[in-house]
C-alpha cells in the first residue's frame, strides 16, 4: 500500500462514494474506504475527521468560490447578476472528476438519512456564503437571501444536468448553472 501516493484525498472520496453506493453508508467502515483507496487508515484521518466528511469535502472551497465571484462582480450589478458571477467562478473550477462523481455521489447520498441531512447543510453553507457576499456589496438582507437561495438551486440543478447528461460533449457546467438561474428568474417573474 503506497503511503504518500499523490491524489490520496480524491481516491478516498471516490472509494467512499463507491462503497456507500454498493453496501450503504452505515455498513461501510473507514478501514474499507482506506483499503479501497490504497492508503492507510492513518492517511484517511489526515484528510478527514470521519467518513461523514468525505461527501462534503469541497464544501468550503465551493462556498468561497461562490462568494469570490459575487465580490468580483462589477459595481452596480444586480443581486442576481452578482450571483451569476459567483456561479461562473465556482463552475469554472469544476472538472471532469466532478462531472464523473456527480451521479455516483447522488446515489451514495440517497442511501442514508444522515448523508441527506449533511447534503442539506451543504446547501445552507453555500447560501450563507453568498448572502454574506451580497450583503457586503450593500444588498439588503431579504433580497440577498432570496438571490442566494436561487443561486444554490441554480447550482444544484445545473450540476445535476451537467453531471447526468452527455459526458462526451464539451459543455461547461457554467452553461447549465446559468441556464438554471435564467429559468428561475423567469419563474420568479411569473409569480407576480
Q: pLDDT tens across 26-54, in order?
A: 899 999 999 999 999 999 999 999 888 88
Secondary structure (DSSP) of 63-92: HHHHHHHHHHSPTT--HHHHHHHHHHHHHT
Which residue matches cell numbers 447528461?
165
Percent of the chain with pLDDT over 70: 95
Q: What is the pLDDT of residue 2?
A: 42
Kindly indicate the confidence band of residue 58, based on its pLDDT and cuts at 50, 70 and 90: confident
Q: What is the pLDDT of residue 164?
A: 85
Cα-Cα-Cα-Cα dihedral of 93, 99, 102, 105, to 10°?
Answer: -80
What average pLDDT does the segment 93-99 reach?
A: 85
**How does the average pLDDT of the chain come out, rounded?**
89
DSSP designation for 55: G
Q: Domains for the chain: give ranges and CATH numbers.
A: 8-54 (1.10.10.60), 58-190 (1.10.357.10)
**In this model, does residue 16 exceed pLDDT 80?**
yes
Q: What is the pLDDT of residue 97?
A: 80
Count CB neighbours of 24 within 10 A.
12
Q: What is the pLDDT of residue 1?
A: 41
Amino acid at each position: 500500500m503506497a503511503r504518500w501516493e499523490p491524489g490520496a484525498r480524491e481516491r478516498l472520496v471516490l472509494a467512499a462514494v463507491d462503497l456507500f453506493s454498493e453496501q450503504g453508508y452505515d455498513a461501510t467502515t473507514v478501514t474499507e474506504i482506506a483499503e479501497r483507496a490504497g492508503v492507510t487508515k492513518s492517511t484517511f484521518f489526515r484528510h478527514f475527521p470521519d467518513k461523514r466528511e468525505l461527501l462534503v469535502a469541497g464544501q468550503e472551497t465551493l462556498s468561497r468560490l461562490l462568494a469570490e465571484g459575487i465580490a468580483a462582480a462589477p459595481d452596480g450589478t444586480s443581486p442576481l447578476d452578482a450571483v451569476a458571477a459567483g456561479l461562473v467562478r465556482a463552475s469554472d473550477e469544476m472538472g471532469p472528476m466532478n462531472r464523473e462523481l456527480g451521479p455516483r455521489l447522488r446515489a451514495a447520498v440517497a442511501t442514508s438519512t444522515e448523508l441527506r441531512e449533511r447534503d442539506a447543510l451543504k446547501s445552507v453553507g453555500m447560501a450563507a456564503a453568498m448572502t454574506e457576499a451580497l450583503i457586503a456589496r450593500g444588498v439588503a438582507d431579504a433580497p440577498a437571501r432570496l438571490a442566494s437561495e436561487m443561486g444554490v438551486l441554480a447550482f444544484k440543478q445545473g450540476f445535476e444536468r451537467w453531471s447526468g447528461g452527455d459526458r462526451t460533449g464539451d459543455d461547461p457546467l457554467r452553461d447549465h448553472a446559468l441556464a438554471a438561474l435564467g429559468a428561475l428568474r423567469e419563474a420568479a417573474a411569473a409569480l407576480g
